Amino acid sequence: MNHDQLTTLVDHLFEDISAFQRGRLITTASSMNLFNRFSGEYRSIGEVKRKSEDKEGLKRFCDALTGLGLLQKKGENYRCTEISELLFTDHAEFDLRPILRLQHRGYEMWSELDRAVKKGQAIKFKTVGKGLFNPKFIHAMEARAHFRKEEMAQELKKYIWRGKVLDLGGGSGIFIRELLKIAPGATGVVADLPGVIKVAESYIKEDKLQKRLKTEPLDIINDNSYGKGYDLILIAAILHIFGPPKNKRILKKTYKALKPKGKVVIMDYIMNDEHSLPHKGSLFGIHMMLATSEGNVYSETQYRDWLKRAGFKKIRKVTLQGQSDLMIAEK
């Protein structure tokens, strides 16, 4: 490697090493409600400052946000840029603040990384574990999928345009809602923990899908049956929460709930055999180690093995544009 190549590499490394600073800046600004305070008109620090905040500290903070392109500055006054107005304020067209809230809490978890690696498991999962699937988390899941839901619905429509769909651990039901909008012959069920289906119901009502999309309280792990007669069962962002033994049982119960020739669609990070790529997936594997007692990301080979053992045929992987991919199989 020559000197220029090494310099470029070191520059990239420095970027990576300090990348958390940019993330922390954005999530902290949102947690301090700063984008709302600078929404619309230009305002001075004095105008927006809270009693508990230091004027100089806030100014330095706002200057860094300006450098990042999330505030703009005229003289000594600031206001949101088009992007922060669009994504991080009360009248945001696409409100990404639930995701920022989740990430903001993530810093505390990631600061435990060295201890978690030594222990091989989460240090604090007991505090985030049970309470994790609360309405705030479900709103964050809705926000994270906002820009990918259409691609997913179009993909699902290839396998089902009529018939009955189960969204297992569906959360807000974002993908099944989007599918039902473009597949008028289909009906469905969002099954999730009792507290979560209340959140799903409010989204279903907002989309006026109550007649075709029902909800059902279900415990994926402790319930022995997921019902029967489904044409398609969607398992999106679920299997990474659990370890392999539970995932094998989930897929067996899924198989039983499907009609003959019914399909299962798993949406998740699908890793290579080394478990290293996609890189976002291996980072997510760490996140699962920090956040859950047994969660992880799994390889295509592992999914194929579990699906085959459950009785599925015609197993294949479909690559999507976003972060996750699909494993699809038939009963």
Ligand X SMILES: C[S@@+](CC[C@H](N)C(=O)[O-])C[C@H]1O[C@@H](n2cnc3c(N)ncnc32)[C@H](O)[C@@H]1O
Interacting residues with ligand X (CB under 6 A): 133, 138, 141, 145, 169-171, 174, 192-193, 196, 218-221, 236-238, 241
Q: Supply the minimum distance, in Å, between the C-beta of residue 144 and ligand X.
A: 8
Q: Supply the minimum distance, in Å, between the C-beta of residue 277 and ligand X.
A: 21
Q: Supply the minimum distance, in Å, between the C-beta of residue 275 and ligand X.
A: 20
Q: Supply the minimum distance, in Å, between the C-beta of residue 177 and ligand X.
A: 10
Which residues, 6+ apart, have CB-to-CB distance to 231 below 8 Å? 160, 163, 164, 165, 258, 259, 262, 263
Among 270, 266, 225, 230, CA closest to 249: 225
Enter the tokens of residue 148: 């990918």
Distance (Å) of CA 35 to CA 88, 249, 272, 275: 6, 45, 40, 38
Whole-angstrom distance, CA of residue 98 vs CA of residue 117: 28
Surface-to-core class of residue 276, CB atoms within 10 Å of its CB (0-12 exposed, 13-18 middle, 19+ buried)? exposed
Q: Which residue has the tokens 């090494």?
A: 6
Q: Which is nearer to ligand X, 168 or 307 (CB)?
A: 168
Q: Which is nearer to ligand X, 135 or 311 (CB)?
A: 135
Q: Supply the minimum distance, in Å, between the C-beta of residue 169 and ligand X.
A: 3
Q: Which is nearer to ligand X, 70 or 143 (CB)?
A: 143
Count other C-beta atoms under 10 Å from residue 62's C-beta: 22
Q: Supply the minimum distance, in Å, between the C-beta of residue 304 and ligand X.
A: 21
Length of the chain: 331
Q: Which is nearer to ligand X, 228 or 314 (CB)?
A: 228
Q: Which is nearer to ligand X, 65 or 220 (CB)?
A: 220
Distance (Å) of CA 49 to CA 81, 124, 245: 19, 34, 53
Q: Which is nearer to ligand X, 178 or 231 (CB)?
A: 178
Report which residue's Cβ sits closest to ligand X.
Answer: 171
Q: Which is nearer to ligand X, 84 or 285 (CB)?
A: 285
Which residues, 6+ apart, have CB-to-CB distance to 123 below 8 Å? 112, 115, 116, 290
- Find out whether 130 and 295 touch, Cβ atoms under 8 Å: no
Q: Supply the minimum distance, in Å, between the C-beta of residue 320 and ligand X.
A: 13
Q: Which is nearer to ligand X, 58 or 329 (CB)?
A: 329
Q: Supply the minimum distance, in Å, between the C-beta of residue 226 and ligand X.
A: 10
